[in-house]
Structure 1
Amino acid sequence: MTAELVRGQNHPLRETRLEITVSAATPVLSGSTAGETLRLYSQDACVHRFPVELDAVPASEERVSVVLALPPGVRFGAVAAPYVAVLGAGSGAELASFTIDGLGDESALVALEFYRRQGAWKVRAVGQGYAGGLPELLRDLGLKQPEPEPEPKPDPAPSAAQPVAGEASGWSMEERLYNQVWGMFEDLARTIAGYRSAVGFAESRLDQELDRALSDPRTRVGAAAEAARDQAMARHTDLVDQARAALDRDLAQLTAEAEVVEPALPPAYAGWDSPVWHGYAVPDEPSMAVRVGELHLPEQPALRIPMLVRLPLERGLWVDSAQDRRRAQDVAVALAARLMASYPVGGYALQVIDPSGSAASALAPLVGSGVLREPPATGAAGVTTVLSRLTERVDLVHMALRAGAPDALPPDLDPAEQLLIVNDFPYGFDDRAITQLRYLADEGPSAGVHLLLIADREDAHEYGPVLDPLWRSLLRLTAVPDDHMADPWVGHAWTYEPLLPPHGSQVLPLVLRQIAAARQAYGS
């Protein structure tokens, strides 16, 4: 759990390989100091990430400081409060964060301090500002300001490094691309947060200045009042323009990165319109994640971030059919096909419950391709049969795991991950079937049984709060664009876009036929 620090507060660190994230409303110079060593990072962006290796700090040094500095002429009191987060480089978990507010004329500050106590490292929120800027800060820390190196004059080169697909850390290209997509997701979230914070600050300051002007009877009317209002509006416009310019610069960089990364994504990460699907072959190993949609924010709707979910699924999926039932069925079928395509031959199996048979048309690609080992179960009897079989499977797997004998399962038990598609829930379900489904939602993922529910929550209103734990346990996806997704960093409301093949495309049946043919060839 993240520790949200205030000035002077300290917090123990459970990791020593750290990544520092800095978010500001204007381009900022960031860096770290240890002893007489000063490392500074680029001032071209509002969001920075840089590493701090505490294990590499010499034993003679007890402190490492994280410093921020603004360009000449800019002060922290005129922009939104900067935000600094400490992440574990190994786990990726956010360990501590600090929003540095209450600043005025300062143009440089010591944000955080890492210090060693009895062999263990802690972080302290400092927030000490310096009106004299970086030179005063460095003098206070006993450091000399680094002399700028003379810039060579080579042939004209791009002002910023060109983005490269797979430049994130990871053991494989797939893992590097996964980490890069998540890095883009975080960068966009924090960039938009900085912009919104800056605009909010400008609006708040405008209101305060107008209130002050109106509260004084001497300046409420006349030329002086008009001049005060004009000056306040000009300062507001200047702040908003600065924030928008910084936002546009960062968005352009992220857009350029997305244009490079998207074509490099493997099938499991790629959109249905990607050419990579036309050369699809069943993989030898399961993918580490799968794309279940796209996310975007209103400031830049054209910049879509792939929504990647780790495999095997840790929670079930729920396609909300409230707005378009047939489209929800199509989205679920496309998701099921994508999940199957992310696993090797025999690694994934589908089972379908369609009590009323209303999804027959949408399920036709799955049925016609032969990827279903059994036809969709219909009626109350079909619901009971499938749920009983999967519940028994989960029980057996858990008993074997608790006994420390995972290989002691019955020989006829299919080792493949199981995906159960349930259409029109809760139609055809009695109380016992609902209890079994809730059990599968809670205990199934750890036993290799996963749910893909197609349902309108209103259809189950008669059950009241009984089903609330079920809905909360599932990842809600929608059949139409909907802004119900939240990021884990700042909590923006992201618009989710479901994934469907382009109209008239044959990519879905092509992929399903490939999977069925591979199964037949391997006798699976």
Structure 2
Amino acid sequence: MTAELVRGQNHPLSRTRLEIRVSAGTPVVAGATVGDENGRVPGIDGVAHPGTPSMPGLEVSRQAAAGHRLAVDLDALPDTVHRVSVLLALPDAGGPARFGAVAAPFVAVTGLDGTEIASYTLTGLESETAVVAVELYRRQGAWKVRAVGQGYAGGLAELLADQGLAEAHRLAGNIQEAVAGGLARSVAAPPPRTDDTDRSRRPVAPGPDHGATAPRPAADPVPQPPLGAGPADPPTTAGPSTTAGPPTLPSADGPVDYRHPRRQHAAPPAPPPAAPPSAPGEPARPVAGDATGWSMDERLYNQVWGMFEDLARSVAAYRSAVDFAESRREKEVDQALSDPRNRIGGGSDAARDAARARHAQLVAQAREVLDRDVTQLAAEADVVEPALPAAYARWDNPVWHAYRVPMEIPMALRLGDLHLPEADGVSIPMLVRLPLERGLWIDSGRSGAFDDTFADPRQRAHLAVETAVAHAARMLAVYPPGEFTVHVVDAAGAGASALAPLADHDVLAAPPARGAAGTAESLTRLTQRVDLVQMALRGGAPDALPPGFDTSQQLLIVNDFPHGFDDRAVNQLRYLADEGPSVGVHLMMVADREESAAYGPLLDPLWRSLLRLTPVPDDHLADPWVGHAWTYDPAVVPPGSRVLHDVLARVAAARRGDGR
């Protein structure tokens, strides 16, 4: 049975030798790119186009035409290829100037015998002149097809640049020149199709409008890995990573690097573990660490982001299908009511019933597909969660009971979990890269469940400080001894009881600063530190740093803001938020957004520069792909658990040098 896809929806591929058939209302240029696990194309050799129509496992047409047949052999693709993106573009010479002026292109993935596996109609295109129609991608050792429909008004050059090609404009010109040259078609004709297997293009639900589902303007984006998509980039050779970043600063104990921590490896990474065999027709059994990566931590990190992306797109496809079903029902009902013949004899009632039945059928089909995807993701989460290292794990994970202070910084840190209402059974760990690229704002105001749970503002404030302590303790726990320092400003002393775990275990740089004088002293000390490091970096004179300069990462927790702050202190906070992360100084604000609004425009840039988190579940985080409003659950310590105290005790012992 053929799967008629909507934008964002995926479907498993049961064959490895395929044809991708394109039918358009006008001649189009067809091509394909091969990419790594991040979707990045390695270079011009990774693009099959009319000028270079074939590569291992892939062959495309040499000319522009209204119909194309692209040949794909997934088994013949190199092991480094994880995605095959099918591209369509309008020729430069003559013809329509945009896809919105022609009939919607239709793409079908078929076997070599012509049997259709999946199809997709690219609806909703307007000013675009190039589009990624579908992509074939590898997931847990199996291949799937996904309906993409991502258009580009800037044409092939913009499309190829978005896939990471540095020579995108030159290659786009070469492709158009090859098309203009009228090169002969080289793709061998497929086996003939019988009449009963042929079919005409059929309309399907339009893809989601990426602007229609955007959350409220105040929503924060889900933290994303650098340069998109999430997965980490393993080094190309064994040895230290050479990720670009600020220059290093030497200290008495050796060079200090504010970039991602270096890792030494004696040999290339072993291949990901193979999935256990599954029964024919069943999805592959999930395996923890089956994504690509240099180390198991990197594989797990990449796998988590793959799960996040799969859930986002599956839910987007479901919502799009439901919207389509509702609009179709309304249209059919309106047409029935506008026909005078249906007003006699109960015809209008029958039309309504028929429209509702079709609506229910479409929604049920969409829900069935979503449930299938959610079931698979839930099974994957069940095997991934127990395998996560401490930095990625919940506080109730047994890995914390065997905690030892690490010798190197992990790739990322877990700040909580993400959920979508259509998939309550799936929880995606929310991971952010280390070192942090932006500070945090822990909102102690009325938000989400606060309105119904906490009548006393002091309870809300106390819970917010406890959440901040849990985040800070986790940061202290994942850094090697002496490489992470925490400062606290608690001007009114309102958070003393919640901050007690940090103070009692002596893991703070100094006792919490109190009053306006203590606040000013702490802020001045850290802003001077930022100034010194910036001057050293810009002047190329790291030797000018004072002797004994603390080169560790710094975190400043500010509680009960804006109590004890004047305009000068607020400006210092803004300076630390803007300039601090690049030189290892980070902010964690615990404050009520509404109370802080008294500063008006002076405070807005500070609030917007930080990642807003809440101590209770709240749907305020937005992803950049489809604009979902994800519900964020904080990473809190289970009630009655001693795990945080045990971890801080070991951190303190390691800092003193008397054991781990």
TM-score, with length taken from structure 1:
0.78
Residue in structure 1 matched with residue 60 of structure 2 by the alignment: 34
Opposite residue 144 of structure 1, the aligned amino acid is P
| Distance in 1 of aligned mates of 2:518 and 2:498 | 19
Residue-by-residue CA offset, 1:403-435 (whole Å, 9 max, x unaligned): 123354212211110000000111001111111
Residue-by-residue CA offset, 1:89-135 (whole Å, 9 max, x unaligned): 9xxxxxxx7358xxxxxxxxxxx9999999625899xxxxxxxxxxx
Pairs within 5 Å for 1:416-495:
416-495=552-631
Residue in structure 1 matched with residue 171 of structure 2 by the alignment: 120
Residue in structure 1 matched with residue 383 of structure 2 by the alignment: 260
Q: Does 1:144 align with 2:190?
A: yes
Opposite residue 315 of structure 1, the aligned amino acid is R
Residue in structure 1 matched with residue 264 of structure 2 by the alignment: none
Opposite residue 190 of structure 2, the aligned amino acid is K
1:462 deviates by: 2.2
1:359 to 465, 475, 495: 495
Residue in structure 1 matched with residue 363 of structure 2 by the alignment: 240
Change (3 A) 1:211 1:143: same
1:334 deviates by: 0.1
Change (3 A) 1:231 1:14: closer
| Distance in 2 of aligned mates of 1:88 and 1:122 | 27
- Residues 289 and 300 of structure 2 are in contact (CA less than 8 Å); yes or no, is this contact kept in structure 1? yes
| Distance in 2 of aligned mates of 1:12 and 1:402 | 46
2:282 to 159, 168, 178: 159
| Distance in 1 of aligned mates of 2:278 and 2:30 | 49
Range 11-20 or range 415-424, more displaced: 11-20
- Residues 17 and 88 of structure 1 are in contact (CA less than 8 Å); yes or no, is this contact kept in structure 2? no
Residue in structure 2 matched with residue 514 of structure 1 by the alignment: 650
1:10 deviates by: 9.2
| Distance in 2 of aligned mates of 1:120 and 1:66 | 25
Opposite residue 556 of structure 2, the aligned amino acid is L
Change (3 A) 1:88 1:304: closer
Residue-by-residue CA offset, 1:445-501 (whole Å, 9 max, x unaligned): 011100000001222222111110000100000111110000121010011111111
Residue in structure 2 matched with residue 381 of structure 1 by the alignment: 517
| Distance in 1 of aligned mates of 2:85 and 2:309 | 22
Residue in structure 2 matched with residue 136 of structure 1 by the alignment: none
- Residues 439 and 609 of structure 2 are in contact (CA less than 8 Å); yes or no, is this contact kept in structure 1? yes
Residue in structure 2 matched with residue 69 of structure 1 by the alignment: 109
Contiguous gaps of at least 5 residues in structure 1: 1-6, 22-30, 43-48, 55-64, 90-96, 101-111, 125-138, 148-153
Residue in structure 2 matched with residue 51 of structure 1 by the alignment: 83
Change (3 A) 1:353 1:118: closer
Change (3 A) 1:504 1:159: same
Pairs within 5 Å for 1:193-342:
193-323=316-446, 324-342=460-478
1:521 deviates by: 1.1
| Distance in 2 of aligned mates of 1:261 and 1:284 | 24
| Distance in 2 of aligned mates of 1:155 and 1:380 | 65
Opposite residue 38 of structure 1, the aligned amino acid is A
Change (3 A) 1:72 1:229: farther
1:76 deviates by: 5.0
Residue in structure 1 matched with residue 44 of structure 2 by the alignment: none
- Residues 420 and 451 of structure 1 are in contact (CA less than 8 Å); yes or no, is this contact kept in structure 2? yes
Range 155-164 or range 299-308, more displaced: 155-164
Change (3 A) 1:391 1:73: closer
The runs of at least 4 aligned residues of structure 1 exceeding 4 Å deviation read 7-21, 70-89, 112-119, 121-124, 139-142, 154-158
Residue-by-residue CA offset, 1:258-315 (whole Å, 9 max, x unaligned): 1111111111110111000000111110111101111101112231111101110110
| Distance in 2 of aligned mates of 1:407 and 1:179 | 39
| Distance in 1 of aligned mates of 2:648 and 2:36 | 44
| Distance in 2 of aligned mates of 1:457 and 1:428 | 16
SS at match of 1:483: strand
Change (3 A) 1:160 1:172: same
- Residues 20 and 84 of structure 1 are in contact (CA less than 8 Å); yes or no, is this contact kept in structure 2? no
- Residues 32 and 84 of structure 2 are in contact (CA less than 8 Å); yes or no, is this contact kept in structure 1? no
| Distance in 2 of aligned mates of 1:369 and 1:117 | 55
SS at match of 1:494: strand
Residue-by-residue CA offset, 1:185-228 (whole Å, 9 max, x unaligned): 11100000000000100100111111110000101342433332
Change (3 A) 1:383 1:221: farther
Change (3 A) 1:75 1:123: farther
- Residues 322 and 362 of structure 2 are in contact (CA less than 8 Å); yes or no, is this contact kept in structure 1? yes
| Distance in 1 of aligned mates of 2:589 and 2:32 | 41
| Distance in 2 of aligned mates of 1:307 and 1:186 | 12
- Residues 294 and 498 of structure 1 are in contact (CA less than 8 Å); yes or no, is this contact kept in structure 2? yes
Figure out how many residues of one structure are paired with residues of the other and give that number.
456
Range 471-480 or range 216-225, more displaced: 216-225
1:143 deviates by: 3.7
SS at match of 1:268: helix
| Distance in 2 of aligned mates of 1:143 and 1:252 | 40
Opposite residue 424 of structure 2, the aligned amino acid is P
1:401 deviates by: 0.4
**Identity, % of aligned pairs?**
55
Opposite residue 379 of structure 2, the aligned amino acid is A
1:18 deviates by: 8.0
- Residues 83 and 135 of structure 2 are in contact (CA less than 8 Å); yes or no, is this contact kept in structure 1? no
- Residues 345 and 519 of structure 1 are in contact (CA less than 8 Å); yes or no, is this contact kept in structure 2? yes
More helix by share: 1
Residue in structure 1 matched with residue 483 of structure 2 by the alignment: 347
- Residues 345 and 518 of structure 1 are in contact (CA less than 8 Å); yes or no, is this contact kept in structure 2? yes
| Distance in 1 of aligned mates of 2:478 and 2:523 | 25
SS at match of 1:361: coil
| Distance in 2 of aligned mates of 1:391 and 1:87 | 50
Change (3 A) 1:290 1:219: same
| Distance in 1 of aligned mates of 2:476 and 2:285 | 35
Residue-by-residue CA offset, 1:29-51 (whole Å, 9 max, x unaligned): xx964369722779xxxxxx942
- Residues 19 and 87 of structure 1 are in contact (CA less than 8 Å); yes or no, is this contact kept in structure 2? no
- Residues 34 and 82 of structure 2 are in contact (CA less than 8 Å); yes or no, is this contact kept in structure 1? no
Range 232-241 or range 390-399, more displaced: 232-241
| Distance in 1 of aligned mates of 2:168 and 2:606 | 46
- Residues 83 and 137 of structure 2 are in contact (CA less than 8 Å); yes or no, is this contact kept in structure 1? no
| Distance in 2 of aligned mates of 1:503 and 1:310 | 28
Residue-by-residue CA offset, 1:48-90 (whole Å, 9 max, x unaligned): x942499xxxxxxxxxx9954388699757999998578999x
| Distance in 2 of aligned mates of 1:489 and 1:170 | 23
Residue-by-residue CA offset, 1:368-425 (whole Å, 9 max, x unaligned): 1111131101011110111111011000000000012335421221111000000011
| Distance in 2 of aligned mates of 1:213 and 1:73 | 35
Range 11-20 or range 301-310, more displaced: 11-20
- Residues 351 and 419 of structure 1 are in contact (CA less than 8 Å); yes or no, is this contact kept in structure 2? yes
Range 457-466 or range 267-276, more displaced: 457-466
